Amino acid sequence: MNIRTRRLALLVPAVAALMGMTGEPTSVVPAPREDAGAIARQDQLVAMVRDAKGPVPVLFVGDSITQGWNDPGKATWDAMIAPLGAMNLGNSGDRTENVLWRLQQAPLTKLAPRAIVLLIGTNNVGHGKSNAAETLAGIQRVVSVLRAQCPEAKIVLMSVFPRGEHINAMRGDLLQVNQALAADPKPGVTLVDIGTRFIDANGDIRKDLMPDSLHLSPAGYRIWAESVLPLVSAPADKR
């Protein structure tokens, strides 16, 4: 064996390990973020969960669209979601594997939520890291972990929102993911699909609700809040 061959022999196992080649797609293999800005937010979220005192009734888990409750969605969050005792666990750019890593590092069990709102998957397809089937597997794995960590919580699973100004192949992939999620309902999981609210009759994204054809405007966040509020609010006192 020459030096070049020997180097290749040593490199292949390392590359396989790095890519998460476990017989499963990378979308289901927990992986931390590697970009500086996202690492800071990732560390903040892990610390928030670890340091939380007492139950947190409602959790929002996801990527930049969830993190956006802190900015364009803040007024709606403060008025409609924060009074529920909610925590925002969104990190811009996260894919399913990144959420799985966060759940591994800081399980949500101690927070004892009654409801968890999950929106994840758009970056798996949008970043070209996963195809539709792999994205579906990643979402299903996140749901499975949430159910294991918080068996008493209601999981409010959001269908992945449409993205891209006009009808495009990526939207077709996300539609297939959403169809598969709807076809396989799970106990304790409620699927909420509001994607059609964000497009017009021509199939174009409504810019008043998604200015960049991906992230929500304040009006878009109000639609989201109104769609989940009945599901995450505490039951009325029946005394």
Instruction: Judge whether 79 lies within some domain.
Output: yes
Tokens coding 13: 């196992």
Q: How confident is the model at residue 23 (pLDDT cuts 50, 70, 90)?
A: confident
Q: pLDDT value at position 12?
A: 34
Domain count, the chain: 1
- The alpha-carbon radius of gyration of the chain (Å, integer) is 19
Instruction: Judge whether 197 lies within some domain.
Output: yes
Instruction: Judge whether 238 lies within some domain.
Output: no
Instruction: Judge whether 239 lies within some domain.
Output: no
217-239 tens-digit pLDDT: 999 999 999 999 999 998 754 33
What is the pLDDT of the chain when averaged over all its residues?
Answer: 91
Q: pLDDT value at position 141?
A: 98
164 lies in which domain range?
Answer: 29-232
Q: pLDDT value at position 54?
A: 85
Instruction: Judge whether 157 lies within some domain.
Output: yes
| pTM higher than 0.95 | no
Taking 70 as the threshold, does the pLDDT of residue 69 lie above it? yes
Taking 80 as the threshold, does the pLDDT of residue 24 lie above it? yes
Q: What is the mean pLDDT of residues 85-92?
A: 98
More confident residue, 239 or 188: 188
Instruction: Judge whether 24 lies within some domain.
Output: no
Q: pLDDT value at position 234?
A: 83
More confident residue, 13 or 113: 113
Q: What is the mean pLDDT of residues 125-154?
A: 97
Q: pLDDT value at position 235?
A: 78
Instruction: Judge whether 95 lies within some domain.
Output: yes
Q: For 75-89, 120-134, 224-238, which range has the lowest pLDDT when averaged over its residues?
A: 224-238
Taking 60 as the threshold, does the pLDDT of residue 25 lie above it? yes
Taking 70 as the threshold, does the pLDDT of residue 13 lie above it? no
DSSP string, the chain: --HHHHHHHHHHHHHHHHTT-SSS-GGGS-----SHHHHHHHHHHHHHHHH--S--SEEEEESHHHHGGGTTTHHHIIIIIGGGTEEEEE-TT--HHHHHHHHHHS-SGGG--SEEEEE--HHHHHTTS--HHHHHHHHHHHHHHHHHH-TTSEEEEEPPPP-SSS--HHHHHHHHHHHHHHHS--TTEEEE--GGGGB-TTS-B-TTT-TTSSSPPHHHHHHHHHHHHHHHSPPPP--
CA–CA separation, 215 and 203 (whole Å) = 17
Instruction: Judge whether 67 lies within some domain.
Output: yes
Which residues carry out catalysis? 64, 212, 215
36-44, Cβ contacts within 8 angstroms, sequence gap of 24 or more: 37/92, 38/91, 38/92, 38/93, 38/94, 41/67, 41/91, 41/92, 42/91, 42/98, 42/102
- CATH number of the CATH domain containing 114: 3.40.50.1110
Q: What is the mean pLDDT of residues 130-145?
A: 98
CA–CA separation, 127 and 6 (whole Å) = 34
Q: What is the mean pLDDT of residues 45-53?
A: 97
